[in-house]
Structure 1
Amino acid sequence: MFLSDHFIHHTQNQTGSGTPNGEELPAWDLSDLYPSPDSPELKNDLEKAREKVETFAANWQGNLADASGQEIALAIELYQEVSEILGRIGSYAQLIFATDSTDAKNAQFYQYINEQITSISTKTLFFTLELNRISEDALNNKLSNEALLSWKPFLDTIRVFRPYQLSDEIEKVLHEKSVTGRAAWNRLYDETLAAMQVSVQEEKVSLGEALNKLSSGDRQVREHAAKGLGESFNSNLRLFSLITNTLAKDKHITDEWRKFPRVDSERNCDNMIEDEVVDALVNAVTQDYQRLSHRYFALKAKWLGLDKLQHWDRNAPLPDDNDQLIPWEQAKEIVHTAYNDFNPEMGGMIKEFLEKPWIDATLRPGKSSGAFAHPTVPQVHPYILLNYHGRNRDVMTLAHELGHGIHQLLAAKQGYIQSNTPLTLAETASVFGEMLTFQSLLQNQKTPEQRRIMLSRKVEDMLNTVVRQIAFYQFERKVHEARQTNELLPEQIGQFWMETQQASLGPAFEFTPVYASYWTYIPHFIHSPFYVYAYAFGDCLVNALYKVYQDGHDNFQEKYMEMLQAGGTKKHKELLAPFGLDASDPAFWRKGLDVISQFIDELEQA
């Protein structure tokens, strides 16, 4: 509730280090949250939260069962008020940490805030526990009150966990020990990755720079980068294996206490999605490996003139793809035009992000190597982090994260605790924004060869989002299920990784032994177990949704905006119904996967 799954230095200037061509890039200004880590405003908010929590607990602990619907509605409003104060503080600490997690002061501040928030929020734990102990009949009677009825989505979200709830004392222990348990291991992992230096042809580069070289048009550069990455991962393999083993066992112990039936059940509950829907998605993608990734990478091997692809060829550009550097200003124009052509209101929101210091795209040591949009709190605005190298994929990443930003802005009207969208739906606006940008660029390609290059880029991005993420999910299941009985050796984890990667990527690839350690740099495995299938869910959903848009569905833009504005107040069935879509229908996933297959069909005929 108080700290999100996004991991996020503090900078007041609005420009930072540039792209490889020397262009200046934006850096965010976090003063909309707080002026500085030691500011009176932040200290006052911490104190205010402590005072409010004390009063809240004194007034409501032990009294919810007998409270009226009107009284419970008032209590939820107060709970949201405290949650939002802590959410603002926590967001600020996360964003500072993500900008440079190698800075000891940033790490110290991040840990301090984590500990303070955990200490304060422990005193509100009783609230959701007591709400869940109210019987269904009693709660239904209370929901006859209109004020409480407006909070039903929040109540539905917490009551999904009702069957798995423990005693107040155990819940309190689990919550308080998280700062020295899971959160501490997460921090160790983040700091290790951020400090990592990779040797590439006698040059020391950051992890992000080395990963970027895997998209180089020079095969020798890709190979040297891949081997350097493998050496760096292997030098930390025992540590990463210990972190993984510890967190998987920690999760297993908690899952057993709660009596979750499957290793992914907690995530599925959190996503408000049924186990059967997840299984339908995973099965549909797995059954389509041959039709999708196997078929595409056989084509790619032919285009590259190779009998076999190595793992460092997966993201290689095609021979005719010069992938020229795209200046930041041009990237901004590309993405803004795509959104604005679809919906001018969205175009206006994109313009605000691009003109204000809400984006950090700079390349700097110690910065988080990924990309995210952090929603902060409804009273402020989201912040976006990416590392802009000037490549086509970076433009798509900008489009992706801006989609998240729009979604978060539109959902903010639902309030802090009901604006948060389940992960499966949180990827909708981001992937849809990518598709808008792709289609806009595709229409502007002047030759068949340019179109083929654009299509191949898109197919690879879709395979990375769908096939690769489902393979990640299957890897996680193998690790978590095996860890229930024994600690796993690094070699065992590596074997699970190689098995799932070979199955998903197909016979066009051969994998050198060094690839067995490449699971170590995927942060979702550490921070958010089973997060990954949400990407595949979102991509397939958007493919089906975009087909509805292309077919001229009535009032599509209006319905789409309403879907984003709903935030976490509706489940996937309710959100998709206006478009005639149903994720529980196996045919739904086929529609999404068919879009990828049709792109590959066109590439085969080119």
Structure 2
Amino acid sequence: MDNNKYRVKWDLERLYSGGSDSKQFRLLLEMVEIMIHKFEDEIKKMSLALITLDIANIKRMLDEATKIRANLSEASSFISCLLAINPKASNASALQGNLSKFVSRFESIMKRIHKMLADINDDRWGHLLTSKELMQFEFILKEWREQGKYYLSEKEEDIISDLMADGYHAWGSLYCSFINSLRVHIEIDGETKELSFGQAFNLRSHSDPRIRQASHAALEKEWNKNQDVFAKILNHTAGYRLQIYKKRGITNILDDPLRKNRMNEESLHRMWSVVEKFKQPFVTYLNIKAKLMGNKEMHSYDFWAPVLKTSKKIPYDKAVDFILEHLSQFGTELEDFARQAIHQDWVDSADTPNKSAAAFCARFPLSGESRICLNYGERITDVLTLAHELGHAFHNHALQKLNPLNTFYPLSIAETASIFFEMVILDAALEGAKSDEEKLFLLDERLKRSVMNFMNIHSRFLFEKRFYEERKEGFIPSIRLTQIMKEAIDEAYARAFHSASAYSWVWTPHFYITGSPFYNFQYTFGYLFSLSIYEEAKKHGLGYEKVYMNLLRDSGTMSIEDLVKRHLGKDITSEEFWEEGIKLCIRDVEDFNCLASKYL
């Protein structure tokens, strides 16, 4: 019997009953296949017949693309949820394979549309965008037209799309299946236990240093044993991507991710230059934390551990109550939404052996719902993870009433609401701290996030940039990948991090995402962006919810630079914007150091 106030298992049956054997879900896939086939024929006829794209034709294409994309997103989310609970589910894996083919075909159709839009002359294009029917889609249409300028001939793009399903995207699927199947053996309390990658990884915040170190050593051994397999997956994924870039005339590896993130390269470089400029305070924090833990230097396997020994556990029910209580200070919609997500069983928080290690939020656009997956282990970090994923779900909720075409925000904005929710909860915990020990503990948790965004994420960016430059010359063996990663870590952490896993190129899933390279700088941007939003929210309280909602709703229809300018009145190409956020984090370092001096 479940004695919890809140359920720890999500309800997928309400969406599609029967799991991977759901007849309802299979009907959805069949319908999507029919829709794609029909749409494909229509677009080919339009293209081959050289039919002039008028307002009515473009609007019809938009409507059909919207319906298909929503159905594909729904299907992808459901399969992701099935595989998260059981990565070895053969039926779900088969469904994923079929869906990949549908996605590939749809992408091929969309490329053809983008190319057709790019071929429209400028004068006529300007006239089309001023029409009442297309005006609300101006941003997305301009984006599609710009993308169309990079595409090859229809025949070449069709070949590329066909190869993606069983080639390119298959490597990403193989990575997920393989890493989730790995098991390590660790001695805990005198008993040897077999743990999944996710369970072993969670031990990095265990209060016992021997268990932390044992978990680190066991995982390193597993990465070492399988590194050549992972090297092949990473090399082949990157090699395919580079070949496509070469054919399209893209020489700068950052061009594609920046375009997809709707960000200028100047903004990205300005952010990293400011981060590099302010590394020292966080080096100081790492050194002081190491001393508090009785060490001369900060070991990577001690980083996530509590700065002071604590046995405090936060039951799931209390975590949920705490989140609901403190979201209410910024608006009724934030609290009401989170309450709805919990009570309608959108969250699966059970810590089970075969479950995916990665927490995530999946959007179901047809039902207007989301599903959240995490392994809740009664730590403050788990409370923050729950808040983080609820933030993602709230972002989905904010966009629900818009036309679906205007709801696809870039990865750079994807962390905005999630980090905001995290900050609300962590700040509330700090304000309610009843002792210096508790406050020091919580400041440490907040500073871990600063270090992750200013150092760890920076190391990922440096690794990926250097990896791609070398990959242009040929296959990179695992030993060299490990060396590149070590150099990136040393630079990003200013050599303040010892025993760091140079195999993090293996276990960082973001390197293997086939949707886009460089899924790293978005976290740092989102962190600093959310700091600015949160500071404004604290000033205005309940009155800021409307501004916040408008910002989230605009996230799918403008560039990053324009979004920040419109809603915050700030310029992200200036150092001042980035320094403002980092200096708030440096203030945390100062508070931490002051409290830590009492224990040294």
TM-score, normalization: structure 1? 0.91
Matches within 5 A, 1:568-583: 568-576=556-564, 577-583=566-572
Q: 1:72 to 1:29 in 2, by over 3 A?
A: same
Taking the aligned partners of 2:138 and 2:196, their CA distance within structure 1 comes to: 47
2:372 aligns with: 384
1:35 aligns with: 17
Matched position secondary structure for 1:357: coil
Equivalent in 65, 69, 75 of residue 61 of structure 2: 75
Matches within 5 A, 1:396-415: 396-415=384-403
Matches within 5 A, 1:204-353: 204-292=194-282, 294-319=283-308, 321-322=309-310, 324-353=312-341
Larger mean CA deviation between 534-543 and 464-473 belongs to 464-473
Residue identity matched to 1:587: E
Equivalent in 86, 98, 114 of residue 112 of structure 1: 98
Q: Taking every aligned residue pair, what percent have the same amino acid on both sides?
A: 23
Matches within 5 A, 1:146-545: 146-201=132-187, 202-292=192-282, 294-319=283-308, 321-322=309-310, 324-511=312-499, 515-527=501-513, 528-545=516-533
Deviation at 1:156, TM superposition (A): 2.7
1:10 aligns with: none
1:98 aligns with: 84
Larger mean CA deviation between 476-485 and 574-583 belongs to 574-583
2:598 aligns with: none
Gaps of 5+ in 2: 596-600
Taking the aligned partners of 1:215 and 1:228, their CA distance within structure 2 comes to: 15
Deviation at 1:446, TM superposition (A): 1.6
Gaps of 5+ in 1: 1-13
Deviation at 1:552, TM superposition (A): 4.2
Deviation at 1:275, TM superposition (A): 1.3
Equivalent in 39, 45, 66 of residue 28 of structure 2: 45
Taking the aligned partners of 2:125 and 2:511, their CA distance within structure 1 comes to: 37
Q: Is the 8 A contact 1:97 1:110 kept in 2?
A: no
Taking the aligned partners of 1:506 and 1:600, their CA distance within structure 2 comes to: 17
Deviation at 1:128, TM superposition (A): 2.6
Q: Is the 8 A contact 1:99 1:367 kept in 2?
A: yes
Q: Is the 8 A contact 1:378 1:416 kept in 2?
A: no
Q: 1:329 to 1:67 in 2, by over 3 A?
A: same
Deviation at 1:162, TM superposition (A): 3.3
Taking the aligned partners of 2:174 and 2:36, their CA distance within structure 1 comes to: 30
Query: Deviation string for 1:83-121 (max 9, x for gaps)?
Result: 222322232222212221122232222223323443466
Query: Deviation string for 1:20-79 (max 9, x for gaps)?
Result: xx9995222223432234444334333333433344344443268613224312321122
Matched position secondary structure for 2:400: helix
Q: 1:442 to 1:102 in 2, by over 3 A?
A: same
Taking the aligned partners of 2:405 and 2:184, their CA distance within structure 1 comes to: 41
Larger mean CA deviation between 345-354 and 51-60 belongs to 51-60
Matched position secondary structure for 1:261: coil
Query: Deviation string for 1:522-565 (max 9, x for gaps)?
Result: 10000142011100000011112222334449953221111112
Taking the aligned partners of 1:31 and 1:372, their CA distance within structure 2 comes to: 19
Q: Is the 8 A contact 1:323 1:391 kept in 2?
A: no
Q: 1:509 to 1:57 in 2, by over 3 A?
A: closer
Matched position secondary structure for 2:314: coil
1:56 equivalenced with 2:36 (yes/no): no
Deviation at 1:385, TM superposition (A): 1.0
Taking the aligned partners of 2:250 and 2:111, their CA distance within structure 1 comes to: 20
1:144 equivalenced with 2:144 (yes/no): no
TM-score, normalization: structure 2? 0.92
Q: 1:448 to 1:573 in 2, by over 3 A?
A: same
Q: Is the 8 A contact 1:54 1:123 kept in 2?
A: no
Taking the aligned partners of 2:331 and 2:107, their CA distance within structure 1 comes to: 40
Taking the aligned partners of 1:277 and 1:258, their CA distance within structure 2 comes to: 25
Residue identity matched to 2:371: Y
Query: Deviation string for 1:119-146 (max 9, x for gaps)?
Result: 4664554223212322333211111211
Deviation at 1:251, TM superposition (A): 1.3
Deviation at 1:504, TM superposition (A): 2.3
Q: Is the 8 A contact 2:330 2:537 kept in 1?
A: no
Deviation at 1:566, TM superposition (A): 2.4
Equivalent in 526, 532, 535 of residue 547 of structure 1: 535
Q: 1:452 to 1:43 in 2, by over 3 A?
A: closer
Deviation at 1:590, TM superposition (A): 0.7
Equivalent in 589, 595, 602 of residue 584 of structure 2: 595
Q: Is the 8 A contact 1:87 1:376 kept in 2?
A: yes
Taking the aligned partners of 1:469 and 1:508, their CA distance within structure 2 comes to: 15
Matched position secondary structure for 2:205: coil
Deviation at 1:492, TM superposition (A): 1.0
Matched position secondary structure for 2:164: helix
Q: Is the 8 A contact 1:28 1:359 kept in 2?
A: yes
Deviation at 1:414, TM superposition (A): 2.1
Q: Is the 8 A contact 1:194 1:368 kept in 2?
A: yes
Matched position secondary structure for 2:434: coil
1:5 aligns with: none
Q: Is the 8 A contact 1:49 1:120 kept in 2?
A: no
Equivalent in 74, 79, 88 of residue 88 of structure 1: 74
Residue identity matched to 2:16: Y
Larger mean CA deviation between 234-243 and 550-559 belongs to 550-559
Matched position secondary structure for 1:413: coil
Query: Deviation string for 1:126-175 (max 9, x for gaps)?
Result: 22321232233321111121111111122133234233222111211111
Q: 1:111 to 1:57 in 2, by over 3 A?
A: closer
Matched position secondary structure for 1:382: strand
Taking the aligned partners of 1:127 and 1:365, their CA distance within structure 2 comes to: 45
Taking the aligned partners of 2:430 and 2:476, their CA distance within structure 1 comes to: 46
Matched position secondary structure for 1:204: strand
Query: Deviation string for 1:238-260 (max 9, x for gaps)?
Result: 10111111111111111111222
Q: Is the 8 A contact 1:100 1:365 kept in 2?
A: no
Q: 1:153 to 1:379 in 2, by over 3 A?
A: farther
Taking the aligned partners of 1:517 and 1:58, their CA distance within structure 2 comes to: 47
